[in-house]
Amino acid sequence: MTSTSRAESRQEKYGIAFIAAIMLCVILNPLNSSTISVALPVLLSALHTTSSGITWIISGYYLGSAIAQPVMGKLGDAWGRARFVYIGLALMIFTAVLAPFSNELWLFVFWRVVQAVGTSMIYPNAVGLLRQYRSGDIGRILGWIGMAGGVAVAVGPTIGGFLIDLASWHSIFWLNIPLSVVAMVLLWRILPKGNRADRLHSVSRENNTAKNHQMDVMGILLFASAVTAWLLWSNSKHPFANAQLLTLVLGVILTTGLIVAELRHTSPIIPVRWFSQSQFTFSSLITVLANLVMYCILYGLPVLLETVRKFTATGSGLVLLAFAGVMSLASPLGGHLAQSQRRRIPILLAGLLLFAGVFILCWVNSLSVLMMVLALALIGVSFSISNVVIQKIVLDSAPHQDTGQASGVYTLLRYLGTILSSVLVGSSISTASGARTLFIILSVVSMATVLLSFGLRDNKPQLR
């Protein structure tokens, strides 16, 4: 059999059903991120907690993802990607059954962290399987997956709102069961039983790269501990009381220890040395701040609309559709701009659009639905540009051999912005005056991304 016929045979075997299974795996993360946004007001009541509980509901999921994703990707390379995808899908079913029984905040947050570990096992290893079995046209398929992820974010709040109004908040977890079961069955029917090829491939990679890609266990532990300490301090009612000052000091010590440890590690989870390059530093700051704004809107606006303006969960989900829907539809624009050599102008444009949209939302307490949709559409276009262009800048700023790590760092920076957004949302969004203050702060943050864009250059330096 010729190489061409073998390639055609493999493409036929790992065809539409295989791609559909991978897409179902990949959309679980964005779907679970977006569907819960419209459930926050209901959850606060069901879990008997105040608006500060929003911080832990949101940050628990993203803290778990930030810690687990780089770890699970490496473990999947070493022990078999399919095995980790199956375990991750099983965890999604497990949490879908048990999370609805949560009647206290800490228990609900625990299941959210377990859910995050599940999606973190699935995502990098599902993409790894795609690269393993469909390497010839992986670029085209990744484009489909990117679109599917955008659609999941776009329709997630609307689906979540519909399910909550139809049944209860429990139903947003039940949605994971059919999706996970279908993905698992498809992969089980298509992949080699025991996935012998996957194991051999993984063992080979492990033997060849173990010395150069040691797991940064200390960095992972210090990062998790430092972020947790900062969350505990920022979420306290009296952050400068004696007891909370100890948490602040602990956060400073852990952060300092993290920086020292990452400077010494050969393969750090956070490559601190890269920040010596201005291009990487500016793009990293823009990533964190832009995602802070985006997730403050994704999670904060439904709370405001449902508690202050008395929208239904379905209604607030439909309003958010203007943001996520436009972002998804305008993604090709971001891809086109990312292909060019220009960096400053696209990010400057994205920053100005972001500022304009957020500034309009400063009057959200009295805005008409039409004006809210306009503001969210502007923000959606902004992110369709910045998400792709900034990711390209981060990848171009890293040495070629560290492309995978650069992609992981970009994801980590996005999660950091999301975790910070949970603090702002939890402390300010539950009242009309607090919501106005929040959007004024977000306007200032948006303008900061505009100013930071002037630090970007159109050339693409390489770190050394």
Sequence-distant (6+) residues with CB within 8 A of 74 are: 213, 215
pTM here is 0.74
Mean pLDDT of 367-392: 86
The CATH number that applies at residue 27 is: 1.20.1250.20
What would the mean pLDDT of 375-389 be, rounded to a whole number?
86
More confident residue, 455 or 443: 443
Residues 4, 66, single domain; the answer is yes
- On the 0-12 / 13-18 / 19+ scale of CB atoms within 10 A, 370 is exposed
Residues 300 and 223 in one domain: no
Coil, helix or strand at residue 312 = coil
Same-domain status, 354 and 459: yes
**Judgement on whether residues 300 and 408 belong to the same structural domain of the protein:** yes
Question: Are 337 and 191 members of one domain?
Answer: no
Do residues 195 and 294 both lie within one domain? no
At residue 430, does pLDDT exceed 70?
A: no
Whole-angstrom distance, CA of residue 395 vs CA of residue 405: 9
* pLDDT interval class at 194 (50, 70, 90): low
The predicted-structure confidence for 2-30, as pLDDT tens digits, reads as follows: 555 454 555 556 778 888 898 899 888 88
Q: Which long-range contacts (CB under 8 A, 24 or more apart) does 405-410 make?
A: 405/267, 405/271, 408/69, 408/70, 408/73, 408/269, 409/270, 409/271, 409/274, 409/284, 410/287
Same domain, 327 and 407: yes
- Domain final residue, candidates 244, 264, 284: 264
d(CA 310, CA 41): 11
pLDDT tens track for 279-334: 888 888 998 999 899 888 888 888 888 888 888 888 888 888 888 778 777 777 76
Share of the chain above pLDDT 90, in %: 18
66 and 169 in a single domain? The answer is yes
- The tally of domains found in the chain comes to 3
**What is the model's pLDDT at position 464?**
44
Position 436 pLDDT exceeds 80: yes
With vertex at residue 377, the alpha carbon angle to CA 371 and CA 382, rounded to the nearest 5 degrees, is 135
Which of 37-41, 104-108, 208-212, 267-271 has the least mean pLDDT?
208-212
Confidence bin at 163 (pLDDT 50/70/90): confident
Among 280, 338, 284, CA closest to 463: 280
Residues 281 and 240 placed together within one structural domain of the fold: no
Structural domain boundaries, residue 453: 271-464
Average pLDDT, the chain: 79
Q: How would residue 407 be classed by pLDDT, with cut points 50, 70 and 90? A: low
Q: Cα–Cα distance between 239 and 427 in angstroms, integer?
A: 12
One domain for residues 143 and 252: no
Residue 96: pLDDT band by 50, 70, 90 thresholds?
very high
For residue 338, what pLDDT is reported? 63
- Tell me what pLDDT residue 256 has: 93
List CB contacts of 223: < 8 A, sequence separation 6 or more.
66, 67, 258, 269, 270
Candidate from 42-51, 59-68, 143-152 with smallest mean pLDDT: 143-152
pLDDT (tens digit per residue) in 227-248: 888 877 776 655 555 667 788 8
Residue scoring higher pLDDT (422 or 370): 370
Is the pLDDT score of 34 beyond 90? no
- On whether both 288 and 201 belong to a single domain, the answer is no
pLDDT tops 70 at residue 335: no
Pick 78 or 190 by higher pLDDT: 190
The percent of residues above 70 in pLDDT, for the chain, comes to 80
Of the residues 238, 264, 290, the one at which a domain ends:
264
CB 128 within 8 Å of CB 144: no
Residues 184 and 288 in one domain: no
Of 144-148, 215-219, 356-360, the range with the lowest mean pLDDT is: 144-148
Separation of alpha carbons 87 and 398, rounded Å: 32
Handedness of CA 407, 410, 415, 416 (dihedral sign): positive
